[in-house]
Each structure stands twice: as structure tokens, then as C-alpha cells.
Amino acid sequence: MRNWLIAVLLLSFSLLVLIPAADAAADAATCLGCHGSMEGAVNVNQDKYSKSVHGSFDCVTCHMALKGAQHQGLSGKADKATLALASEISPKSKIDPIAQAACAQCHPEIYQSYKTSIHGQNVIVKKSSDGPVCTSCHGTPHYIQPKSSKESMVNHFNVVKTCGTCHEEKHRAEKYGFSPLVMERYLESFHGRKLKVGHTNAPSCVNCHGSHDIKSDKDPASPVNGANKIKTCGKCHSGATEKFVAAITHKPLHPIAHFTELALIVLTMSVFAFICIHVLLDIIADIRDRLFRKGGPHE
């Protein structure tokens, strides 16, 4: 009886080990066997991949359906929801929309939140090629780093630049009606400067505007719309009032501010010029006196 039991256990154990191996499909090593040394967009750096947050995944976790004869027998099958999403975002993802859509499988809450955002609406509903999908902000999917990593594109100190890749562009500003100087005005503000020199409490774009669920500032649900703005600014500036929060708009510099600054620069430059000339003349006169007027009125 006992022998039987052992025999069954052994058999089932070896089946457990052998079956996946037989189908050995597409564990990462199999894929990297080719893709690790291929050139161009299909190359995947094994080292960097294994260090990414998803480095322990098999490739087919995301690349559910592989095309082409070279992948025969390696491909799995995508589920309906992923296929549907993939077709919706296909204008955004030329290489493998299914893999692009696969993020939603493990991150359904973020996906739901993204879907309601202005970015998500633009991509999924309006089928625009402008809006970002996950990888637009989080970077090359194979090398995604945790947000805390300095290499992450959405790290507190990197995310402004990431937003800027689209929000700095004039044609998009015109098309969607945001200030074309939004980046410039932020960068020269105290918030932007403090962030640049490493102030951990300085707000980046997402601290005020939100991230996955980002809304247009005209949307009443936006954290920077109307009354919400008072609450949003109040996260750091307790006691913020309507007058206080009206200061930050990212709009181009007002003419009064522009000309005041110009006047101050003119003042600074004139004083600078005056004192430089004064000091230079003083030096020349001093040298002259020492050389030619020894015993004169100077000593």
C-alpha cells in the first residue's frame, strides 16, 4: 500500500515538473535566446530586464499572442478583455498592442482610473494617437523600475520631464488648449526650482494634477478646478484661500510683471556698468599715481 502511495506521488511529482518543461514554451530564457542578441527594436537586454520590476515574468505573460512562423508553438492565447482593449489602443501601439493591453490584467484598478482620465479618454474613446498609454510615461516595458528608483521616468524628480515630452509641444498646446508655456512657467517657479535642487516636498506636476486619473482643469473633478484647487494647494499651504491659489496658472508672464522685470534688469545692468567703470578708472588712476606722481598729493 505504502509503495503504491510513493509510486503515485513520484509519478505525479515528475508530471508536475515535466509537463511545463515539455511545453517549455516561452519562459524568458527561451525568448532571450534569440531576442537577447537581436538588433533593433526587438532586442531585449537580459541584464536590464531581470533587474526590472517585472524581471521574473515569462515573456508570454504580456506577449500573449505571438505572430509569425518563428514563434510557432511558443504562443499562448489572449483573453477577450485584453484583445478588446488591444484593438482599442492599436493606433498607439504598432508592435504588440496585446502586450500593451496586458498591463490591465495585473493592474485593473489603475486601468479603470486611467480609463476615466483625459489621457485614457483620448486614447480609448477618441482613438487619438496623442494620449499616453502606460509605457509612454513608465518607459520601455522591459526595463520598468519602481517609482522610488532614480531611473524611473515617473520618479518624483523625473516625472516633470516625462510630462514635458508632450506638454512642451506647441501643436498639442494649441490642439488641446493648455498653456504653451506650461513647462517653462513651472520650471522657473519656486516649485520647479526647488524640485530641481532636490527638495523632496516640492510638488511635481502629479502632486497637484493627479496621475492616472488626471483630468482637464476644466473638468469639475480635476484637483486644480475651482474649489478643488483650494484643497489641493492646502495640502502644503494650510489656510490657502481663493486669492492665494489664483497665483499659479502656468500662463505666460503678465505684461506688468514682464516690464517690471525688464526695468529691474536695466537697473542692475546700469549699476553694474557704473561700478565696473568706476572701479576700473580708480585702478588706472591708482597705478598712474604710483608710477608718475611719487611724492605728489598721494603719500
Partner 1 sequence: MSNNTIPNEIERFDLSARIQHVIMFTTFLLLSFTGWGLKYAYQDPASAWISFWGGAKIAGIIHRVAGITMLLDFIYHQFYLINQARKGGMRLTLVPMPKDVIDAFHNFMYFFGLRKEKPYFGKFNYMQKFDYWAVYWGMFIIGASGFFLAFPVTVSSLFPLWSIQWIWDVIFAMHSDEALLAIVFILIFHFYNEHLRSEVFPMNWMWLTGKMSIEQLKHHHPAEYDYLYGDKKKK
Residues that bind partner 1 (CB under 8 A): 187, 190, 192-194, 196-202, 237-241, 243-244, 246-247, 249, 251, 253-257, 260-261, 264-265, 267-268, 271-272, 275-276, 278-279, 281-286, 288, 290, 296-299
> Nearer Cβ to partner 1, position 86 or 163?
163
99 close to 64: Cβ distance less than 8 angstroms:
yes
**Residue 273 Cβ, how far from partner 1 at the closest point, in Å?**
11
> Nearer Cβ to partner 1, position 175 or 290?
290
**Residue 180 Cβ, how far from partner 1 at the closest point, in Å?**
17
**Residue 186 Cβ, how far from partner 1 at the closest point, in Å?**
12
* CA gap 143, 132 in Å, rounded: 18
77 close to 65: Cβ distance less than 8 angstroms:
yes
**Residue 133 Cβ, how far from partner 1 at the closest point, in Å?**
30
> Nearer Cβ to partner 1, position 70 or 201?
201
* Residue with grid cell 532614480, as numbered in its chain: 150
* CA gap 148, 53 in Å, rounded: 12
* CA gap 103, 105 in Å, rounded: 5
**Residue 281 Cβ, how far from partner 1 at the closest point, in Å?**
4
* CA gap 268, 272 in Å, rounded: 6
> Nearer Cβ to partner 1, position 8 or 263?
263
| CA angle, residues 106, 110, 112, in degrees to nearest 5 | 105
